[in-house]
Structure 1
Amino acid sequence: MTTPFALTPHQRQWCAELRTLAAERLRPLAAEGPLASEGPPGRVNRPLVAALGDLGLLARVFPAEGPVRAMDLCLLRESLAAECTEAETALALQGLGAYPVALSGTDAQRARWLPGVVAGRAVAAFALSEPDAGSDAAALALRAEPDGSGRWRLTGEKCWISNAPEADFYTVFARTTAGAGARGVTAFVVPADRPGLTGVPLDMLSPHPIGALAFDAVPVTRDDLLGEPDAGFRVAMRTLNLFRPSVGAFAVGMAQAALDAAVRHAGERQAFGGPLKDLQAVSHQLAEMATRTEAARLLVYAAAAAYDAGAPGVASSSAMAKLLATETAQYVVDAAVQLHGARALRRGHLLEHLYREVRAPRIYEGASEVQRTIIAKELYRGRAGGPGSTAASREGENR
């Protein structure tokens, strides 16, 4: 008997190959990277990005023909995360930063930027968040002001931007129409060497390349425009609807790594006259961790399948997948740390690493509270997509 989202033998084999590749080829590069030791924060591990290109993994995010399949992206991110979170993050940031170019860019823009991204030679970044516009992305204040010559000047700040300030180009979302909310935002692709564009790295809980950007009348032209003026918010949301389920996949990969470590530890660790796994409290905890991880995985796969099928309610299913998976990963990693005790808190331990890594996905690309808002709005539209949603909406109408 198979479930609706059971993987094919080919997909299972691919996932196994990806985990081996991540453990043997990518993890050593992560261990030698600029963020693996004490030093300035915010540095991009370019050898790791280049390896993702050399191994053909970035080409799976940007296939030569047709759009990326959400299921492929989820399987890729889950498998990498289970063995090397640094490689998973590097791949995801390339995808997030450059996908708007693939989605809405002109042929000339795609030809200029995507080959370097796919090869791992050009580092991309997605510049949406600002100091006062995070969860409420429609409230962003970076201004794109016309200068009278058919160009714009970007003035303002961006913050919490992954790969900043070392990216080679940025997908930047700026306000072109004051007071228009989401309808007054335009997307631009901005090379990092534009005059007036500066940045600083930020030191975060988990050592990722993250920084802040300052725009001092940075010039952009129609050649830098992604899509149509005032239509940039749609570019951002279409990108996030694809990547949100795969954030859930990243979380599932971390949860699986923590669960595997907990199962090994409980089988080997002796306490109270036997292995920990023989204690009912421990065995029940492991069962709960395994059940929640599998539930999150299936919801991620369901969201990916819905996206690939063009099903209605993609925003809601993507939000559900990200919400449940990231919250589950936080629970599973924390439970694994508790089972391991003090040893899991030592710097360099797998679980210490996962404990720092697992916190951010509940915030970025829409915090858990934002995902709940999206889901609730879809419920009232009768498009939640879950079993019984049609009946539930009819029952509400009868009341």
Structure 2
Amino acid sequence: MKASIDHLALPFFDDTHRTLGRELADWAPLQQVDESDDRRACRQWVRLLGDGGWLRYCVPGSAGGALDKLDSRALVVLRETLAFHSPLADFAFAMQGLGSGAITLAGSPTQQAAYLPAVARGDKIAAFALSEPDAGSDAGAMTTRADPSDGGWALNGSKTWISNGDIADFYVTFAKTDTDAGTRGITAFIVDAGNPGLDSSEHIAVMAPHPLATLKFAHCQLAGDAQLGALNGGFKLAMQTLDIFRASVAAAALGMARRALFEAVRFSRERKMFGQTLADFQLTQAKIGEMAALIDAAALLTYRAAWLRDDSEARGAGKRITAEAAMAKMTATENAQRVIDMALQMHGGLGVKVGTKVESLYRDIRSLRIYEGATEVQQLIIGKAMLRS
């Protein structure tokens, strides 16, 4: 079974993306990973993705990347295709990009050389540590502090809901360096996993298993060169990183929705009811039509956001596409939830049987409506942008 690449014929994409999509659609179904242990499976997926050359799209060409710059449309193609086959494979890929993205944007040449090529090979696993127990959507409320100490920094506090927690080799971590300045007092740091004073052993179990943990910093000593980017420029750096990858979250939702539609079509053609197939009923046809339209509507917003970001980069305009990315993320995740729910309903009792694909998709999609900005946050971003225009 291969993911369809028909959508790559749309003018948002060029031949580079079409070739990428075709090759990945051939590669992904051949990979066999036992995902019963999510931490072991993520390590295995990073290894496979690195060996396959796919992680090279997470870093720029100067650090061993496949393209000169991070390309949002390539990320969209990769995540949509991987999520169609395995949401955990998509997760492993995405975190390599998100966890190293700030180093790509603001890292010194030394920092980039130390981390990015290893990320591209799959030799180092990356993580992005922004959220805290009382500071999720409100990053300015974070309490983790970095104080000057012995020519470097002492980090104290905690981060939670950290993807790749306890399997990552390094964490791009955001901390207050000016406690009275809100979001303008946040700085980014690179914290290696073996650093004394870092405890990542508190795992978090969630409904769709993937590696999450709480990080605790107790007088965690960092050298001065662990600072990433400008002093007190961490919030802007975090938002720039999320802007690149937010459209790719929408793509992951698209991949899951397309898989749910595929499963619904296949099941409806095979399921016999009252002397005909489920697909022969008009109600089934109407539901499948609605599912297809929801997917295509979300896809157009997703591809637009990725294209706008890449076009701005190519022209050197530096325009942020925050509202467009928020529209894509909100619409794709919400629509995917509806599509997967309809596919599960169509399967009847089999839809809730543990181990069926639609059952696992139902669990997998739910978190996408929360992480990297909950739907309600995306609504606020879009609304504020409209009021400013």
User: Is TM-score (shorter-chain normalized) higher than 0.5?
Assistant: yes
* Cα distance in 1 for residues equivalent to 2:78 and 2:41: 21
The aligned counterpart of 1:23 is 29
Once the two structures are superposed, the pairs formed by residues 377-392 of structure 1 within 5 Å of their partners are: 377-382=384-389
Contact 1:251 1:358 in 2 (8 A): yes
- Structure 1 unaligned regions, length at least 5: 36-41, 383-399
Contact 2:130 2:159 in 1 (8 A): yes
Once the two structures are superposed, the pairs formed by residues 1-399 of structure 1 within 5 Å of their partners are: 5=11, 7-8=13-14, 11-25=17-31, 28-29=32-33, 31=34, 34-35=37-38, 45-65=42-62, 66-147=68-149, 149-199=150-200, 200-310=202-312, 312=319, 314-382=321-389
Read off the aligned partner of 2:212 and give its amino acid letter: I
* Cα distance in 1 for residues equivalent to 2:223 and 2:230: 13
Read off the aligned partner of 1:332 and give its amino acid letter: V
* Deviation of the 1:8 alpha carbon: 4.5
TM-score by length of 2: 0.92
* Deviation of the 1:159 alpha carbon: 0.3
Contact 1:77 1:88 in 2 (8 A): yes
Read off the aligned partner of 1:357 and give its amino acid letter: D
* Cα distance in 1 for residues equivalent to 2:163 and 2:219: 22
Query: 10-19 or 225-234: which moved more?
Result: 10-19
- Structure 2 unaligned regions, length at least 5: 1-7, 63-67
* CA displacement 1:66-123 (0-9 Å, x = unmatched): 3211111101110111112111110001111111111111111111111211111111
Equivalent position SS for 1:45: helix
* Deviation of the 1:50 alpha carbon: 1.0
* Deviation of the 1:302 alpha carbon: 0.2
Read off the aligned partner of 2:45 and give its amino acid letter: L
Q: RMSD value over aligned CA atoms?
A: 1.7
Distance 1:6 1:127, change over 3 A: closer
Figure out how many residues of one structure are paired with residues of the other and give that number: 371
TM-score by length of 1: 0.89
* Cα distance in 1 for residues equivalent to 2:11 and 2:195: 46
* Cα distance in 1 for residues equivalent to 2:267 and 2:281: 13
Distance 1:257 1:3, change over 3 A: closer
* Cα distance in 1 for residues equivalent to 2:173 and 2:212: 15
Read off the aligned partner of 1:64 and give its amino acid letter: G
Read off the aligned partner of 2:189 and give its amino acid letter: F
* Deviation of the 1:6 alpha carbon: 5.0
* CA displacement 1:332-373 (0-9 Å, x = unmatched): 111100000111212211111111100001100000000000
Contact 1:44 1:163 in 2 (8 A): no
Query: 317-326 or 129-138: which moved more?
Result: 129-138
* Cα distance in 2 for residues equivalent to 1:10 and 1:172: 33
* Deviation of the 1:258 alpha carbon: 0.2
Identity %: 44
* Deviation of the 1:16 alpha carbon: 3.2
Contact 1:151 1:220 in 2 (8 A): yes
* Deviation of the 1:63 alpha carbon: 3.3
Query: 7-16 or 137-146: which moved more?
Result: 7-16
* Cα distance in 1 for residues equivalent to 2:98 and 2:157: 22
* Deviation of the 1:273 alpha carbon: 2.5
Read off the aligned partner of 2:173 and give its amino acid letter: V
